[in-house]
Amino acid sequence: MDLSSYFLTLEYVLMASTFVALMLIFLYSYYGKEEQSTQKS
Q: What is the pLDDT of residue 1?
A: 72
pLDDT digit string (tens) for 7-26?
Answer: 999 999 999 999 999 999 99
Averaged pLDDT score across all residues of the chain: 88
Distance, in Å, from the CA atom of 38 to the CA atom of 15, rounded to the nearest integer, reads 35
Helix spans in 1-41 (H): 3-40
Phi, psi of 2 (to 5 degrees): -85, 180
pLDDT at position 37, please? 64
What is the Cα–Cα distance from 22 to 9, expressed in whole angstroms?
20
Question: Which is higher by pLDDT, 29 or 41?
Answer: 29
